[in-house]
Structure 1
Amino acid sequence: MKQHNLGTVVGFEFLRVVTKRRFWVAALAIPVVLAAVFSLVFISSSSTDNASQAQKRAQFTFTYSDGSGLVTAAVAAQFGGMKATDGDKAVADVKSGTVDAYFAYPADPATQPVQVYGVDRGIFENGKYDAVARQILVTGAQQKIGSPELTTMAQGDVKVTALTYKDGQVSGGLDTVIPPLLFLVVFYLSIVMLGNQMLNSTLEEKENRVTEMILTTMNPTTLIVGKVISLFLVGLVQMLTFAVPVVVGYVFFRSNLNLPDVDLSHLVLEPQPMVVGFLLLVGGFVLFTGTLVAIGAMVPTVKEAGTYFAPLMIMIFVPFYVVSVIVSDPHAVIVQVFTYFPYTASVTAMLRNGFGTLTLAESGIVILELFGLGFVALRLAVYLFRYGSIEYSKKLSLSSVLGRRRRV
């Protein structure tokens, strides 16, 4: 008598994957690489800071000539420079090594370059000449303006607070776009990280020649659903494994790694886009999982399955080739096609949902389409697995399976 213990299937499939060494090697590969990159960035940042401090402490001698009137003796003295009486002699002094550098400021620095002559100290050390010459000119210009407020505005350091309105209410702008788009990130991670697992979930039993034995004791629907749930749980484990080093690096080593300070308190969680984004994520996951499981049940080997896997992966990245059109002209024909074509619908709809161009009616249609076709794909996977369990040497014919089902 066939059993219907879904929990047994989920537990077995989940433990079978997570107890394998190769799973953890693959799952930990990205975190280990990230940790190595973070360590290198940390070491490099420390070395750069030390070199910068040493460069600041290291004084070098220079002379200057000024045709702009912006560089005064007081400004040059702040950086340890002296005015040159003869430009040609100043260049000759640099060539002979008597002084380290000579800066020749033109009459109009806005249109003419500052000529810098220096003793070669190496590619990285030579940059200090340009930096000091530029800072002297900036300092002189600031003093010429004579007003800290005007200086700040002249540098473009002006704070702007913007308010935009939608339907008479203040909209959150970019702060409302980011949260729904996080579902798109999760979707990509889940498909990329679990794609092979989805494809091989039914192939493994066929290649091991144990499918007949399984089907004598287990309902195929229970088996397929259990595999899908276990895939979801495995995906959660992989995502947590991937996220931990990122979170640790940001929380404890953000300043050392030069990571931007992200203020999440400004993000706006609007109910409709968040609910729609979640449903699109789940619907897309169900559709792709059902399709990949069905392919695995139909073909006899992993090699043959790969010919179907690649086009499906391409489908989820195709919308990004027209992302500018999706954002700027959501009613374009190509955008509408991508919105309703099943294997590009989830990504395109999530993009439009994040940017606020997906209407509630369109959301409903796409969500129903994804869940409906996902259910069909899962049912098809069950039929293919049941009737293709003994096809070990050739690909199962979809038309013959469906014809056999109708005759039964």
Structure 2
Amino acid sequence: MNKMGTIIGFTFKNKVRNKSFLITTLIMVILLSIGMNIPYLIKVFKGEDGNGAQSSGVHIAVIAENGSAASQLLQAYAKQPGVDATVTPYPAADDAGLKQALSDDKVDGYLTYTEQSGAGLGSVVFHAVDDSAKVKSFLQSALQQVNAQLIAGDRLTPQQIAAMNAPVPLGTEKISADGEAAQDKSHPLINYVIVYVLLILFFMSIMMTGNMIAAEVTSEKSSRIMEILITSAAPLAQMFGKVIGIFLVGLLQIAIIAAAIAANLMLPHNSGVLQDFNLDLGQLSVSLLVYGIVLYILGYFMFALMYAAVGSIVSRTEDLGQAAMPVMMIGFVNFYVPLFSISTPNTLLVKVTSFIPFTSPLSMLLRIGVGDVAAWEIILSLLLLLVTIFVLGWLAAKIYRTGVLMYGKRPSIKELRKAMKAYKI
């Protein structure tokens, strides 16, 4: 046990100090930070970094050739408490000031309308390069109130008009075919985002750390260092020490990436990014994160043991890619099935793959996060995965024990079986 602890510590320190780990992690953090700050960077390059730049909210220009009641009412509506908008009147659509404001992105567009001879607004046209949902929502509410005030005149107070235009709350309840109330099984949008991020993060971490294990075992074997190591520590202590040590490296990398995401979300210009995408962290299921960690740990050890076994039977690092190809293909299936099924998590394919141990870590994560899954299905999937890990651990130990001292060409399955029979765990 002491020797295994030494191997774990040595492997962890060696990989963390490795330039490839540091550079890869740094690149991932930089790319992630750039991706999360692209909208702000675009504004900075356009000169909209907050110094005299357009503030958040809606900015509308309205054409009021001779001044009009509709324009004044629209400006008054924008000044109400809780309305994040500005309405600026201009005399004509070809006004130089309006063109400059459009060019500098200080207004989202301009509004032209014709008032009816009787009451109310006539035709209304909004001219904009990009009419966002926020602008549309403001215009719908504002023009509805302006139209109501033009029609009502002095007969109704602004409070009465606002109450008249206020939407009536409408609740919904799903029912089954027999009229009984059905349970709403819809998942919040934040779950889809978390599942998508975890799928990518776990796949990259498992594949990178798995390749680290195989490459380290093969390099030690090809340089004949293995012959020295085998005299100081048992092969099983070496294998499991490397697997656990690199597992800690993977956890560290995930923690660094998670910290980078949290740090970017805490930046002032990103404070409202979650609200802009209708994401509420309060709706995030804690059980999803717990199951995600459990499935990541189990999935890691399953693939790590396979990579360790593959690395032990290869004598040259040049042959490692070809030997590890079957394991990599299993990893790709494990990743792509849930990734392309994220919008349809309850298909038969996802259900079947969530019970196959080699594909269950990420497929079951998808079903837990955004699908319909029973508790017994989760338990059964985890049990099958645990049994597979124990079987692979026993098999990998026998392969590793015999493979690390077999040099020359890659041994065939028949040769491996013959050598493994001579060694009992």
TM-score strictly above 0.5? yes
Q: Tell me which amino acid in the other structure corresponds to 1:17.
A: K
- Decide which structure has greater helix share: 1
| 20, 25, 28: which one aligns with 1:27 | 25
Secondary structure at the aligned position of 1:114 is classed as: strand
Whose relative contact order is higher, 1 or 2, with alpha carbons under 8 Å and at least 6 apart?
1
Q: Tell me which amino acid in the other structure corresponds to 1:13.
A: T
| 117, 139, 144: which one aligns with 1:141 | 144
Deviates more, 1:372-381 or 1:281-290: 372-381
Q: Tell me which amino acid in the other structure corresponds to 1:27.
A: T
Asked if the contact 2:8/2:241 (under 8 Å) is kept, the reply is yes
CA distance in 1, matches of 2:259, 2:136: 45
Deviation at 1:132, TM superposition (A): 10
Asked if the contact 1:5/1:222 (under 8 Å) is kept, the reply is yes
Deviation at 1:300, TM superposition (A): 3.1
| 336, 351, 355: which one aligns with 1:318 | 336
Alignment of 1:252-331 (within 5 A): 253-256=267-270, 258-261=272-275, 263-269=280-286, 278-307=293-322, 308=325, 309-320=327-338, 323=341, 327-329=345-347
Q: How many residues align?
A: 371
Deviation at 1:224, TM superposition (A): 0.7
| 349, 356, 361: which one aligns with 2:376 | 361
Asked if the contact 2:305/2:392 (under 8 Å) is kept, the reply is yes
CA distance in 1, matches of 2:98, 2:39: 36
| 168, 174, 179: which one aligns with 2:187 | 174
**CA spacing shift, 1:304–1:315, aligned 2, 3 Å:** farther
Asked if the contact 1:326/1:352 (under 8 Å) is kept, the reply is no
Alignment of 1:380-399 (within 5 A): 380-399=395-414
Asked if the contact 1:10/1:227 (under 8 Å) is kept, the reply is yes
Secondary structure at the aligned position of 1:385 is classed as: helix
CA distance in 1, matches of 2:19, 2:115: 68
**CA spacing shift, 1:274–1:176, aligned 2, 3 Å:** farther
Deviation at 1:24, TM superposition (A): 1.2
Deviations for 1:386-405, whole angstroms, at most 9, x for unmatched residues?
Answer: 32224444223233112222
CA distance in 2, matches of 1:255, 1:102: 29
| 232, 254, 258: which one aligns with 1:239 | 254
Q: Tell me which amino acid in the other structure corresponds to 1:312.
A: I
Secondary structure at the aligned position of 1:323 is classed as: coil
2:125 maps to 1:114: yes
Deviation at 1:150, TM superposition (A): 4.6
Deviation at 1:9, TM superposition (A): 0.8
CA distance in 1, matches of 2:98, 2:350: 65
**CA spacing shift, 1:291–1:162, aligned 2, 3 Å:** farther
Deviations for 1:244-289, whole angstroms, at most 9, x for unmatched residues?
Answer: 22222223x144464215654444545xx77655543332222111
**CA spacing shift, 1:297–1:290, aligned 2, 3 Å:** same
What is the percentage of aligned positions where both structures have the same residue? Answer: 20
Asked if the contact 1:172/1:268 (under 8 Å) is kept, the reply is no
CA distance in 2, matches of 1:397, 1:342: 25
Asked if the contact 1:38/1:257 (under 8 Å) is kept, the reply is no
Corresponding residue number in structure 1 for 2:245: 230
Deviation at 1:36, TM superposition (A): 4.5
Any gaps of 5 or more consecutive residues in structure 1? 83-89, 117-123
Deviations for 1:51-70, whole angstroms, at most 9, x for unmatched residues?
Answer: 4269x9998976499xxxx9
2:89 maps to 1:80: yes
Alignment of 1:343-382 (within 5 A): 343-355=358-370, 357-382=372-397
Any gaps of 5 or more consecutive residues in structure 2? 76-86, 100-109, 150-160
Deviations for 1:297-331, whole angstroms, at most 9, x for unmatched residues?
Answer: 223344433241541331222323652685344xx
**CA spacing shift, 1:137–1:258, aligned 2, 3 Å:** closer
Deviation at 1:292, TM superposition (A): 1.6
| 48, 52, 56: which one aligns with 2:54 | 52
Deviation at 1:223, TM superposition (A): 0.8
TM-score relative to the length of structure 1: 0.70
Deviation at 1:380, TM superposition (A): 2.8
Alignment of 1:148-187 (within 5 A): 148-153=162-167, 174=187, 178=191, 181=195, 187=202
Corresponding residue number in structure 2 for 1:250: 265
Superposition RMSD on alpha carbons, in Å? 4.9
